[in-house]
Structure 1
Amino acid sequence: MICNAVGRRVRQLVLGASVAALAAAASTAAFADTIKIGLLAPLTGPAAADGQEFQRGAQLAIDEINAAGGFDGNTFELVVGDVKDQSAGNVTSAVERLLGDPEVHFMTTGYASLTNFEIDNMAEAEMPYVISATSQQTRDIIAPEPDKYGCCWSLTPSFDAYNTDVTYFVEKLAADGKIQLPTKKVAIISSDNAYSKTISEGMKKTFTEKGWTITVDELVPFGEVTDWRAILAKVRENVPDVVINTDYLPGNSASFLNQFMEQPTKSLVFLQYAPSVPEFVELTKKNSTGIIYNLLGGPLTTPKNPRAAEIADKYKAKYGVESGTYGVALYETVYLYLDALKKAGDATDHQAVMKALGETDKQVAAGRLKFDPATHLAIQGDDFIPITFFQIWDGQRTLISPTQYATGEFKIQPWMQ
C-alpha cells in the first residue's frame, strides 16, 4: 500500500510538473511573438544606395528595441520587399508579398514607387504605413478624402518649399553681398520622374515669377545618365548665374558635376537631394567642394536638436559609414511605430495603431513632428520641420540655412572665384 501511494504521488508530481512546464511554455509563446515590420526599398537598381540606407536605419532601431525587451515581450523583425527599379510591377509585387504575410503589422519606406500609388493598397488592407518622400504625390492622393487614408502618414512635409525656396535662397545670398547675379539667368535640368519633374516645374514657375530668364530647360529620361556633355554645352553657350539639376540619383548627379567641372562656368550650382547621399562625395571627391543642396525632413544636426547627432553617431558606429537622410528617417519611423503600439496596446489592432500614428507630436531628428490632418503630411515650418540648406566643403556637410539652426556660413563656390 505504501509503495502504491508513493507511486501515485510521484506520478502526480510528474504530471503537475509537466502541466506547469506546458503552461510556462504557452505563456512564453504568448509573450514572445514576432511582430514583423515590412520595408519597401530599392535594394537593387539605380537607387540601391538609398535602399540600403532604408534597411540599415530600420534595422538599427529594431536591434535597439529588441535589446531593450521589445514590446510587451514581443520582438520585432524586419522583412524587406525589393522594389528594384521602382516600376509599377516591381512595387506591386513587393507590396503584395508583404501584405500577404499575416505577421506583418506595419509597413514603411523612404520611397517606393515615386507616385505612391501603393497608398491605396495600404488603405484597402488597413495596413499602417509611414512614407518619407514624394510628398506632393502623397498629398494628391490623400487630401481629397483624408478619412479614407487613416493608414498612411508622411514623415516629410509638403514639397512646396522645394519649388520656391531655392529662388529665395539665391536672392538672399545676393542681397547679403555673398554672390552676384548680373544676368538673372538660370539653367534647370531635370529627370522625367514624379519627384524630380514636380520640383523642377515648381522652380521654373518661381524663377519666372521673380523675373528670371530660363536659358536651359532640359528633361532627361529617368534612369542612368552617364553623359551630360550635350546639355552642359548649352549651359556654356549662354552662361547663367545659377545651374540647377533636380535628378535625385547620386550616380547621375555625380556624373553631371564631374562633367561640369571639366569646363566650369561662373555659376552657382545647386543639386537636388543627391549630394545628401554619402555615395555622392565618394563619386565626386574634391569636385563636391562648394556644392549646395537642400532637404525637407533632413536631420537637424545642431546643438539645438541633439537627437539628430545621437542617431547619426549610432548609425556610423554600427555600419562604419555616415547616414544620409534616410538612415535617420527610417530609424525614427520604427520608433514612431513603437510609440503608436504603446498607445494602441496591440499590434493586431491596426485601426488603433493608425490613429495613434496620426496623433504623433514629438521632437525627431528633423525637428518637431506633427501631422496635418488634412493631408497626412508632416507640418512644415521653422517651428516644425524646416527646409534646410547644406553646403559640402572638403567632404563635410555644413548646415547654412535657416539661420537659427545653421552650423556655418555659405562660402563662395571655388569655380565662381
Structure 2
Amino acid sequence: MRKTWTLSLALTLPLALAACGGSGPAGTSNGGGAQSGDTIKIGSLHPLSGASAADGQQMDNGAKLAVEAINNAGGIKAQGGKKLELVSADTQGKPEVGQSEAQRLVSDGAVGLVGTYQSAVTANVSTVAERNKVPLVIDVSSADSILAQGYKYTFRVQPSSTVLGTAGAQFLDQVAKAAGKPVRTVAVLHEQGPFGSAVRDAFKAEAEKAGIKVGPAIAYDAANVSDLTTQVTQVKASGADVLMVAGYYRDGVLAAKAVATVKPPALNAVYGVANGAFDLPQFPKEAGAAAEGFFDANYHADMTNADMQALAKLYQERYNDAIRTGAVLAYDSVKVIADALERSGGTEPAKVRDAIAEGSVPTLIAGNGPITFGPTGENENATPILMQVQGGAVKQVFPADKAETKPVYPAFTSR
C-alpha cells in the first residue's frame, strides 16, 4: 500500500544555508549510507559550469531550498529530527565527470542522489547508483534508455522521452486541426544526445500515425553550437509548415534567433517538445520578439498551487531570478528522498530505496497526481502540458483543463 506524506514548505521561516554543502569533498569517506553526527547527506549532481550552467545552478538552488524547508520544518522527525545536508557536485555536463562525482558522493556517505539534467550524464550516474545500491532520483533527464536497463535504484520524477514525444505530437495534431489548419510536414531540429534523439523518435512515431510527414531531422551538438542559421536554412528549404525543436536553454535561444533571421515563409509554428527554453520566463525576455508564438509541450510548474507560488516568490527574492521548472523538479526530488527517510526507519540506502518505490509524494509540477513510481521507476503521474509565448509571457494553452488561455495557431500569421 502506498502512503501519502505531506511536507510543509515552511517557506516563511528563517532560512539557514549552513546545511548546504559546496562542490568539494564533504569529509572523510565512511561508505555509502553511513552517517555521522546529526545530518543525513543527499548528493546533488548538476552542471554548475559549462554550457548548461544556468540550468544546473537553478536545479542545485532548488535542491537547496528543499533541504532548507525540510530542516526548518523539523528535519527528519522519524529519525529524531536529524537534519539533511546537501552536498553539491559539478558534473560540468560531462558523463565521465558526473560518474566520478557520483562515486565520490556515495563514498562520502550520501544516502541518495538527485540529478543530473543531461541524459548522457544521468546514464553514467545511474550505473554508479546501481553498482553501489544507492537510490538516484532523476529530476531532469528524459531518455528512455536510462530506465530501460531494468535498474532497481533509479527513479525519474519528470515524464520520459516517450511520454513527452508522444503527447507533444498529439497536442500539435489536435491544436492544428481545431484551428482548421492540419499539419502536413514537420522538420525536426534536435540536440544530438540521447535526450534529443529519443524525443525525436517518439514524436516522429506518433506524428506519422496521424498522417503527418516528419523530416528532415537535423541534429546539432548542444554543448558547442554557436549558431543555428545553417540548420534553419535547411528547414526553410524543406518547406515544412512546423519546426519541432528538442534541446536545452542556450541552443533554444539560438534556434529562436535563427528563425527570426532566416524567416522560413512556410512555417506556421515553432514547436518545442521538452525544450529547455521555450516555456521559461527568461526565454521571451532574452529572445525578445523572436520568441513570440513559440510552443512547448513539456513538464511545467503548477502556478495555480499556492505552495508553488510561495516557492517562486522565495526563489526570486533569494537568487534575484525567476524560478525554472528544472529547479522545481530538483526540489520535488529532494522531497521524494526525505519522504522515504521518514518512512524507512533508517538511512540504509536499500531501505530508502524500498520506501521511495512505495511512496506517494505531493508535487509542485502540473500533472495527474502525486509522485508515485511504477515498476520501472517512472513517475506514473508525470505528464506534459502545452505552453505558448503570448504577449511576451509563457501561457498554458492545452489541454483545456490546464489552459490559462487558448492557443494561437498558426502562430506566424504574418509570414
TM range (shorter): 0.7 to 0.9
Q: Determine helix, strand or coil for the equivalent of 1:391.
A: strand
Residues 246-302 of structure 1: CA distance to partner in whole angstroms, max 9, x if unpaired?
1x2211111111121124234211123222344433431222121100213x22223
1:65 matched residue in structure 2: 70
Alignment of 1:90-101 (within 5 A): 90-101=97-108
Amino acid at match of 2:260: M
Greater C-alpha Rg: 1
**For 2:169 and 2:330, how far apart are their aligned partners in 1?**
30
Deviation at 1:112, TM superposition (A): 5.0
Classify 1:409/1:97 alpha carbon distance in 2 versus 1 (closer, same or farther; 3 Å): same
C-alpha contact (below 8 Å) 2:296/2:386 kept by paired residues: yes
Q: Determine helix, strand or coil for the equivalent of 2:148.
A: helix
1:226 matched residue in structure 2: 226
Amino acid at match of 1:289: E
Amino acid at match of 1:163: G
Classify 1:267/1:122 alpha carbon distance in 2 versus 1 (closer, same or farther; 3 Å): same
1:331 matched residue in structure 2: 331
**For 1:211 and 1:405, how far apart are their aligned partners in 2?**
27
Whether 1:387 aligns to 2:387 is no
Q: Normalising by structure 1, what TM-score?
A: 0.82
Whether 1:77 aligns to 2:85 is yes
C-alpha contact (below 8 Å) 2:388/2:407 kept by paired residues: yes
Q: Determine helix, strand or coil for the equivalent of 1:364.
A: coil
C-alpha contact (below 8 Å) 1:299/1:308 kept by paired residues: yes
Residues 324-374 of structure 1: CA distance to partner in whole angstroms, max 9, x if unpaired?
111111111222222111112322x22221111111123311232343432
1:12 matched residue in structure 2: none
2:353 matched residue in structure 1: 354
2:345 matched residue in structure 1: 345
1:271 matched residue in structure 2: 272
Alignment of 1:5-404 (within 5 A): 33-71=38-76, 72-86=80-94, 88-102=95-109, 104-111=110-117, 113-114=119-120, 116-132=123-139, 133-142=141-150, 149=152, 151-177=153-179, 180-181=181-182, 184-246=184-246, 248-264=247-263, 265=265, 266-272=267-273, 273-274=275-276, 275-296=278-299, 298-302=300-304, 305-347=305-347, 349-366=348-365, 367=367, 368-379=369-380, 384-404=381-401
Residues 88-109 of structure 1: CA distance to partner in whole angstroms, max 9, x if unpaired?
321122112111203x222111
Deviation at 1:317, TM superposition (A): 3.0
C-alpha contact (below 8 Å) 1:250/1:279 kept by paired residues: no
C-alpha contact (below 8 Å) 1:116/1:134 kept by paired residues: no
Deviation at 1:242, TM superposition (A): 0.7
- Tell me: higher relative CO, structure 1 or 2? Use CA pairs within 8 A at least 6 residues apart: 2
Q: Determine helix, strand or coil for the equivalent of 2:353.
A: helix
C-alpha contact (below 8 Å) 2:119/2:195 kept by paired residues: no
Deviation at 1:323, TM superposition (A): 1.3
Deviation at 1:59, TM superposition (A): 0.7
Q: Determine helix, strand or coil for the equivalent of 1:134.
A: coil
**For 1:299 and 1:122, how far apart are their aligned partners in 2?**
27
Tell me the matched-pair count.
Answer: 369
**For 1:372 and 1:75, how far apart are their aligned partners in 2?**
25
Residues 208-249 of structure 1: CA distance to partner in whole angstroms, max 9, x if unpaired?
333223352212234232222222222222422211121x22
C-alpha contact (below 8 Å) 1:135/1:154 kept by paired residues: no
Classify 1:176/1:101 alpha carbon distance in 2 versus 1 (closer, same or farther; 3 Å): same
1:405 matched residue in structure 2: 402
Deviation at 1:131, TM superposition (A): 0.6
C-alpha contact (below 8 Å) 1:286/1:394 kept by paired residues: no
Q: Normalising by structure 2, what TM-score?
A: 0.82
Deviation at 1:56, TM superposition (A): 0.6
Amino acid at match of 1:95: A
C-alpha contact (below 8 Å) 1:32/1:75 kept by paired residues: no
Deviation at 1:399, TM superposition (A): 1.0
Deviation at 1:155, TM superposition (A): 0.7
**For 1:98 and 1:351, how far apart are their aligned partners in 2?**
16
Q: Determine helix, strand or coil for the equivalent of 2:84.
A: strand
1:24 matched residue in structure 2: none
What 5-or-longer segments of structure 2 have no aligned partner?
Answer: 1-34
Q: Determine helix, strand or coil for the equivalent of 1:281.
A: helix
**For 2:200 and 2:340, how far apart are their aligned partners in 1?**
36
The percent of aligned pairs where both chains have the same amino acid is: 21
Point out the structure with the larger helix share: 1
Q: Determine helix, strand or coil for the equivalent of 1:141.
A: coil
Deviation at 1:414, TM superposition (A): 5.4
RMSD value, Cα: 2.3
